[in-house]
A and B are shown apart, each in its own frame.
Chain A
């Protein structure tokens, strides 16, 4: 009957769902309510009517429209994909259910499979007015399932479904309790669990959602608090200090530099270094400490990076000694540190443009450079070269060959 291509048109005026029954009523000349009753009975008896109805919905054009939903759905690749996926999931579910022995559900399989796939295509390809109508039909169902509404109707609906599932499950369990067929009882239990999910699921969902919301809010609050702390502890304190020491320009610059570095480290933490102990991180620390302790500006440039081991820690310590030395004795306002990891060599240059000295005539009480720098470097197999002349500044060059492991290669 439906296969015939007659000018059959689905009702666009007041359809219950797709307007298929109205179309049939119009064509056969029978009462609409009679047709609807037949359809409902057909749907209930083995779900036979459902696929027929969905197919008709897809294939019969709506009153006042040119093409059927089905003709539009052919071009809807995404919709077809979703439908196929859904149908396969439903099919899998049916297979599991039949394996569990709930064969009476299997009789509804055609209804479920065709219904699921067809409804997806209808939902995606219905014309805008029909889609709006569908939304109006679906809305009460969704709100009944949704946790946010606590209307009595929703509760009653869920209660009814849960009761049905519960009784079916209990019947399965009790029926076979003497037969010792564990599988049947198991499927019964599954139905009981499903009943609990239907009844209590929305409430669980709401509790879960509230928990997540609360956790997010707490995380945001903590973040804000940390930010306020950081700004207060460092920035505001430093600004206060700067105001009180406005008459000491050197001190103000030092405070500002230090604050800048601190804030920058906090803002960009973790995006610059290897993380943990690395050459670049260690040099930034030197920069910090020497600036804080000696009131000079330290400019550090690092090219490449590598993790620290004992030899590299000694290398960094030698560089620190050279920087401290420059800050203490050169009289220059700034010290430059440049370090580079290149291939199997790491090098560091500590330079100032200050007073300089005659390397041959270092007083005995200033053993810093020769002991701490050159001694350290030779102990770890590296080399330190000091270039200086009175009035021409000082540059200490440190060079250390790396072993394979230090370069970060697998040993």
Chain B
């Protein structure tokens, strides 16, 4: 399941000491914790030096947040490092921003220990991890993208929509809806009579679209959210 076949090497970036200790205690037995940091610059340096399989990344950090860590590590030569975002934040724009920067998943901090370890293994193996909440955000974001029809004033100024990356397929929407309804990948596969591997590939495709889609429109969505 994991990249190296063994226990994934994990780096923890979290500015809240109490929470950091809690997470460490929960995942200690199942993963190989190779380091931790509580702010952006130290995190970027240490991650580039130790090159872990997965970085557990707090979305909100002093000095630029999780997005700054991802961008710093990419610039610093850690392109193969995978990120799993961890947050108490409900703000969709923050979550979408960290995913678009390159994180391969998002879980809330209320997640249980075993679930967190499972999510880490999934990300280490190259899969995407969508919590129900993230699935909801993504459906919301793409619903507004696909509601822009030709002739709308918005599409006149925006570059034309590329269905390859700007719209979800009906099957992908179905998968996201089931995740939002609380289905695990296994339950989801049974429900749709497909394999877990297929579910994972759908979720990865959605992740890719989310990261590649026309920056203009997704950022507009996020900006409107912020203004609410």
Contacts and interface: CB of A to CB of B under 8 A. Distances in A.
Interface in A361-409: 395
B12 interface: no
Interface stretch (A113-121, A182-190, A297-305): A297-305
B177 interface: yes
Interface string B177-190: 10011110000000
Given A264-B90, A303-B180, A395-B181, A342 B143 contact: yes
Contacts of B139: 303, 340
Contacts of B177: 338, 340
Interface in B90-142: 90-91, 110, 132-133, 135-136, 139-140
B168 to A, nearest CB: 12
Q: Dominant SS at the B interface?
A: helix
Nearest to A257: B110
Given A268-B90, A272-B90, A304-B143, A299 B182 contact: yes
Residue of A264, A303, A304, A336 with most partner-chain B CB within 10 A: A303
Contacts of A302: 136
Contacts of B88: 260
Interface in A325-342: 334, 336, 338, 340, 342
A11 B46 CA distance: 64
* Chain B interface size range: 10 to 19
B132 A299 contact: yes
Interface string A343-366: 000000101010000000000000
Interface string A260-271: 100010001011
B162 interface: no
A268 B90 CA distance: 9
B152 interface: no
B155 to A, nearest CB: 18
A82 to B, nearest CB: 34
* Chain A interface size range: 20 to 34
Nearest to A256: B110
Interface in B139-158: 139-140, 143
B181 A338 contact: yes
A301 B228 contact: no
Contacts of A272: 90, 228
B26 to A, nearest CB: 15
Residue of A260, A270, A338 with most partner-chain B CB within 10 A: A338
A336 B187 CA distance: 14
Contacts of A273: 228
B143 A349 contact: no
B132 A301 contact: yes
Interface string B210-228: 0000000000000001101
Given A336-B132, A336-B181, A303 B90 contact: no
Interface string A286-320: 00000000000001011110000000000000000
Contacts of A270: 228
Given A303-B143, A303-B180, A351-B181, A338 B228 contact: no
A299 B91 CA distance: 16
A260 B89 CA distance: 11
B90 A338 contact: no
Interface in B58-98: 88, 90-91
B135 to A, nearest CB: 7
Contacts of A349: 181
B181 A271 contact: no
A348 to B, nearest CB: 10
Interface of A: 257, 260, 264, 268, 270-273, 299, 301-304, 334, 336, 338, 340, 342, 349, 351, 353, 395
Given A270-B228, A340-B139, 13 more contacts: A257-B110, A268-B90, A268-B91, A272-B228, A299-B133, A301-B133, A301-B135, A301-B180, A303-B136, A303-B180, A338-B180, A338-B181, A340-B180
Q: Top 5 closest A-B pairs, CB basis?
A: A336-B182, A301-B136, A338-B181, A303-B139, A338-B180
18 contacts: A257-B110, A264-B90, A271-B225, A271-B226, A271-B228, A273-B228, A301-B136, A303-B136, A303-B143, A304-B143, A336-B182, A338-B132, A338-B180, A338-B181, A340-B139, A351-B181, A351-B182, A351-B183
